[in-house]
Amino acid sequence: MSEVLKSKAVNGWRLFWLVTAPISAAMLIAMMGKDLSSAESVSSMIQLSVRCAVPLLYVTFAASSVQTLFRGPLGGWLFRNRKYFGLCFAAAMGWQLFFILWLTTVHSDYYINEVYVLRDAIEGVVGYTFLIAMTVTSFAFTRRRMKPKTWRLLHLSGIYFLWAYAFSVYWWALFYYKNPLLLDYIYYWSGFLAWALRVAAWNKKRRKIAEKSVPRSTTQPVFNLAGMLIIGVGLVAASFGKAWYDTAANLMTGYAITRIPETYLPYWPFQPWLPLFIIALGALLTTRART
């Protein structure tokens, strides 16, 4: 396996074309099989392009964490090629942008009456702004013109925003809309796993730093137990969103003070990530035991 992952055929730009060529071929074949004079058909192409793009986003999001947690050939390969996986994701999202522009210009009445929501439009514009900026600055000639901290802030903020967008889509599909598909479950839990890997990698790094600088605390078992219990609560909440969605929505919306964020703020009131905030708090407590 190690030798295969070192092959030029699955690294760098060859990997990019190995991934993007089949996706583009699939898009073209799907277009030929649909009547694109219909707004519903164009909308289905938007959905198909997203389904092709999201796994690439998750791989890019989790690549560095896999290397931190599981050092080996696979982790090294993912880390070496995370830029190219990101560019593959950008290429797949280029198809989505193409079909979105098609829908908004050719089928503008359908878009305005059936699709358009101001906050969703803001989320999409911000997401594509991040995606374009990250794509342009992925190359050496533009990266050299940025301060390292600025570059890191852009890519860290952008990858989290884009992951949050994809993750939220499948959270709503499972816990708000009726009759979710098997693919919705797969993409939701894959997005959750990608995020959980990042939390675990952060936890591992933080523990190593603490072990080097601070003696083991006598209260560590208390913090560990509390942290694990909180993580368990978060996992239950992440699994059964329908049980608490209405309660959370009623508590966090419908007030005069929330009128503006309800209209303009992307992702408000953050229901898909409330369980993740709980899990992150639990993970923080398990590291607090050593500080």
Whether 271 contacts 169, CB under 8 Å? no
Q: What is the pLDDT of residue 113?
A: 85
Q: What is the pLDDT of residue 208?
A: 79
How many other CB atoms are found less than 10 A from the CB of residue 248?
15
Q: What are the pLDDT digits (tens) for 191-203? A: 999 999 999 999 8
Q: What is the pLDDT of residue 215?
A: 58
Q: What are the pLDDT digits (tens) for 112-152? A: 888 878 888 888 999 999 999 999 999 988 988 899 999 99
107-116: which pairs have CB atoms within 8 A and are 24 or more residues apart? 107/39, 107/42, 110/39, 110/43, 111/39, 114/39, 115/43
| Tokens standing for residue 59 | 């791989």
Nearest-angstrom CA–CA distance, 69 and 81: 17
pLDDT bin (cut points 50, 70, 90) of residue 31 is very high
Q: What are the pLDDT digits (tens) for 53-107? A: 999 999 999 999 999 998 888 889 999 999 999 999 999 999 999 999 999 998 8
Q: What is the pLDDT of residue 289?
A: 59
Nearest-angstrom CA–CA distance, 211 and 223: 15
Q: What are the pLDDT digits (tens) for 163-180? A: 999 999 999 999 988 889
- The pTM score is 0.92
Winning range, highest mean pLDDT, from 109-113, 195-199, 215-219, 267-271: 195-199
Burial tier of 4 (Cβ tally within 10 Å: 0-12, 13-18, 19+): exposed
Domain ranges of the chain: 2-183, 214-291
Q: What is the pLDDT of residue 21?
A: 97
Q: What is the pLDDT of residue 216?
A: 56
How many other CB atoms are found less than 10 A from the CB of residue 279?
23
Average pLDDT over residues 8-34: 94
Whether 271 contacts 191, CB under 8 Å? no
Residue 210 has pLDDT above 80, yes or no: no
Q: Which of 18-22, 61-65, 172-176, 212-216 has the lowest mean pLDDT?
A: 212-216
